[in-house]
Amino acid sequence: MSMSRFDGPEGMERDPAQPYLAAFQSWESMLHERGRIEHALGMGYMELLTRYREKCAECDREKRNAMIWEKEQRMSERELNSLKTAAESSPFAFVIIDGDGAVFREDLIARGEDGGGEAAHELHQQLKAYFHENPAFSNIETVYVHVILNVEGLSKALNGSGVLPVADYGALTKFGRGFCRAQPLFSFTDVGFGKEQADNKVRKLFEVMERNIQCRCLILGGCHDNGYAPFLESYRGNQKIGLLETTTPAAEYRKFTFKRVAFPSVFRSEPVPTVLKSAAPLAFTPVSMAPPVFQTPIASPPVRSPTNGPSSLPTPPATTSPKKSAPATLATSKPETQQNSYATVGRNTPSTTINIASQKKAVAPRPYYQLNKNNERVDIPLPKPDPSAIKSLEDRRQMSGMNLCNRYHLGNSCKNANCNFYHGERLNAAELLALRHKTRNLVCSAGHYCREISCNLGHHCANAGSCYFGDDCRFSEMHGMDLTPTIKIYEDGTREVV
């Protein structure tokens, strides 16, 4: 008997949905896993997106910072270049002088303001010559000089020792006034009594100028005093420092290798003699107007004191108001000089008249240019030219077929090897004047702003108020200009009010 497919457990047919259910469960599990993966991917993506955005923002910030830094760097570079240009274009020298030891020549001091002016001009010229001879300082045009001293103390020393050939205790003050007036960048400072007063001021000025990058040369006039030597130790090897020697340098300065300069035409080469307490007071004759004349007796042989030794001053014999005069040569502290000085004067010896006024040679006029009240250049009038000189210039031009070279004839130097203008024989004075009149008709490119002292071109119309050519004049832009000069400016920077 056959069994039905529903008979018995073995014979029972399996559920037809069972395979599908298993597959469905497997698919559902995979779907759940997929969702988990997708969620993880989504979260990871969002995290990456957030980090990306943060990095983008950071990158933008860095980019902006880089642009700012680049801009600041360019500005800093421009500022640095500007400072370098300013430092290189305006170099100056600073000279600090301890005037208590570096003493000006007594013949200059005795002449008061005139002597101070001469000392300032001479010192300025000597310094400029020194700078031009040294390649490291050749571009220096501006020079500051600061003299620091005790005016009253030095005046007493000069008068008491007999070095100063006048009895005017104010001579040194007048000298300082003339010294400052002659050169606008020169100073003469009285610090009063006390050695440290001058020393401290000298040191402080020195320290400030040593740090100034525009100060290319710093000169100290203090070699007479060992006290400055320890101060200079920290500046060894500094190439811009120099020493001004007047008297014999103190021993401590031998170890330094700084550059040395000396100006014997301005400063005393010997220290001011020391006055002995036992010395009799000296009577001075009144000072007359230039030329100064002093009455001096013929000196009798000096009498040495056996207790003072050979280096001391001779002891003068007792006299009644002895007259005294400074020798015409430079006074020194050497015994030989003191033996023949005013200290040994006879009582009834005959007197003689000695003129110690300095004999000056004729000085050529200093070149200058002049400005009006508006700081506009006003040409210096030229004398009327000689017609024969004008004709001579025209004959030269026709013979050579070229115009004359202004640089060669008026400036005495033409550096153009291929110059297209005529050089030839040098012109005489009349022809030079005629050539200056011709060049005065050429307009200077700088106009009335020109400050070149040797410029021979024209800077305004000679007849600005009534010019025949009117608007066709080469100088029409300068018409109406004030042609009244108010100030003269010399090549060394000195100004003189007209």
Q: Cα(494)–Cα(488) distance, rounded to whole angstroms?
A: 8
| Of 301, 353, 327, the residue nearest 162 (C-alpha) | 327
Closest CA to 333 of 112, 168, 158: 158
Task: Please compute the mean of the pLDDT values over residues 111-116 and round it to a whole number.
Answer: 92
pLDDT in tens, 234-278: 898 888 999 999 988 878 888 888 999 999 999 998 888 865 433
What is d(CA 99, CA 188) in angstroms, rounded to the nearest whole number? 9
Res 213 pLDDT > 50: yes
**Given this model, what pLDDT does residue 330 score?**
32
What is the sign, positive or negative, of the torsion defined by CA atoms of 290, 295, 301, 304? negative
Residue 7 is predicted with a pLDDT of 52
Q: What residue type is 429 in one-letter code?
A: A
Radius of gyration of the chain (CA): 45
What is the C-alpha separation between 263 and 268, in angstroms, rounded? 9
Q: What pLDDT score was predicted for residue 278?
A: 37
Mean pLDDT of 441-461: 86
Cα separation, 427 vs 415, in Å, equals 19
Give percent above pLDDT 70 in the chain. Answer: 78
Q: What's the rounded Cα separation, in Å, for the pair 222 and 249?
A: 9
How far apart are the C-alpha atoms of 179 and 261, rounded to whole Å?
Answer: 20
Sign of CA dihedral 396, 401, 402, 403: positive
Closest CA to 478 of 372, 368, 369: 372
Q: Alpha helices, DSSP H only, in 373-422?
A: 387-400, 406-410
- CA 430, distance to chain mean position in Å, is 39
Mark out the alpha helices in 328-428 (DSSP H runs): 335-339, 387-400, 406-410
Strand partners, 368: 490
**Between 357 and 139, residue with greater pLDDT:** 139
Q: What are phi and psi of 344, to 5 degrees?
A: -110, 100
Q: Which residue has the higher pLDDT, 485 or 402?
A: 485
**Taking the complete model, does pTM exceed 0.85, yes or no?**
no
CA angle 452-458-461, nearest 5°? 135
For residue 465, what pLDDT band results from cuts at 50, 70 and 90? low
CB proximity list for 272: less than 8 A, separation 6 or greater: 103, 154, 157, 158, 161, 163, 333
Question: What residue ranges in 191-255 does DSSP mark as E strands?
Answer: 215-221, 241-244
CA-CA distance, 16 to 22, in Å (whole number)?
Answer: 11
The per-residue pLDDT for 415 is 78
CA dihedral in degrees (33, 38, 42, 43; nearest 10)? 10
The tens digit of pLDDT for each residue in 316-369 reads: 333 333 333 333 333 333 333 333 333 333 334 344 444 444 455 555 678 899
Edge-to-edge order in the sheet of strand 259-261: 186-190, 142-149, 92-98, 215-221, 241-244, 259-261
Tens of pLDDT, residue by residue over 318-327, are 333 333 333 3
Whole-angstrom CA distances from 196 to 100, 219, 399 are 12, 20, 74
The pLDDT, as a whole number, for residue 319 is 36
Q: Residue length, the chain? A: 498
- Tell me the average pLDDT of the chain: 77
Over 80: is that where the pLDDT of 217 sits?
yes
Nearest to 433 by CA among 463, 456, 408: 456
